[in-house]
Amino acid sequence: MRFLGRFFWVIISLATTAVAMVFAVSNNHPASVKFWPLTGQLELATWMLTLGAACAGAIVGGGVVWLSLVAARSRNWRLKRQLGKAEQRAAKAENRLAEVEDETATSSSPTALGGPS
């Protein structure tokens, strides 16, 4: 199953690379880009602008996913700490219950009540 997933990943990567190469060859005419606060302009090929925007989107999207993973991991760590504390409290309560049951059993035995030995 793992081989199949990697195989599909390679096929998708090769197809995406081929489409990007065909796009780059087909869209080679220059485009002017002006940034508002600056006075100059930048002349780039159309394929550079498009692929640059796609790469920037992938980086920003990856950053958002990474931040959500950090939040999930911190929530996981917090819940693990709470679970550990709850397990400790449950163990203490079980020990205390066992002690109380032992005390009750020894105090209600026939020899403790003065019955026949």
The reported pLDDT for the residue numbered 114 is 53
pTM above threshold 0.85? no
Of the two residues 65 and 113, the one the predictor is more confident about is 65
Q: What pLDDT digit, counting tens, does each position of 75-107 carry?
A: 999 999 999 999 999 999 999 999 999 888 888
Say if CB 30 and CB 42 are below 8 A apart. Answer: no
Q: Looking up tokens 């990567």, which residue turns up?
A: 13
Residues sharing a CB contact under 8 Å with residue 43, sequence separation 6 or more, in sequence order: 30, 31, 32, 33
